[in-house]
Amino acid sequence: MIRMQKKRVNLRKTKPKKAQESRELSLVSVLKSSTKFVLLFKRTFLLWCLGNFAFLCLFSFIPNGWTNSLSILWLVAYYVFWCIFVRYMQQHMPYFSLVRIFNGLIPVSKIMFINISIYLLIIIIPFIPMFMGFHDKYVEFFEGYMGLIASHDSMTGTTLFYIFMLLISPYTILRPYLAWIASLIGKSRSIVDAYKRTHHNYWKFVGYGAMMSSLFILSYYIDNIYDVNTMIYIGAILPVYFNIVFINIYKVFYKRKPEIKPTFD
> Would you give per-residue pLDDT tens digits along the chain (265 residues)?
445 454 454 544 444 444 556 788 888 999 999 999 999 999 999 999 999 999 999 998 898 888 888 899 999 999 999 999 999 999 999 999 999 999 999 999 999 999 999 888 877 777 777 676 666 667 766 666 666 666 655 666 677 778 888 999 999 999 999 999 999 988 888 999 999 999 889 999 999 999 888 888 787 777 777 777 777 888 899 999 999 999 999 999 987 654 444 444 4
> Domain extents for the chain?
25-254
Nearest to 204 by CA among 9, 23, 14: 23
Contact assessment for residue 197 and residue 254, using Cβ atoms and an 8 Å cutoff: yes
Quick check: 158 and 152 in contact, CB under 8 A? Answer: yes
How far apart, in whole angstroms, are the C-alpha atoms of residue 55 and residue 12?
55
- Residue from 169, 171, 165, 164 nearest 192 by CA: 171
Distance CA 33, CA 222 (A): 29
Q: What is the pTM of this model?
A: 0.80
Nearest to 81 by CA among 246, 218, 236: 236
H or E element that contains 261: none
Number of neighbouring beta carbons within 10 Å of residue 54: 12
Distances (CA, A) of 184 to 105, 109, 136, 188: 9, 14, 53, 9
* Inter-residue contact 181 to 250 (CB < 8 Å): yes
Half-sphere exposure of 13 (CA within 13 A, CB side): 6
How far is Cα 140 from Cα 41, in angstroms, rounded to an integer? Answer: 57
From the centroid of its chain, how far is CA 35?
Answer: 20
188 by Cβ neighbours in 10 Å (0-12 / 13-18 / 19+) ranks as middle
Q: Which of 114, 245, 83, 254 is nearest to 179 (CA)?
A: 254
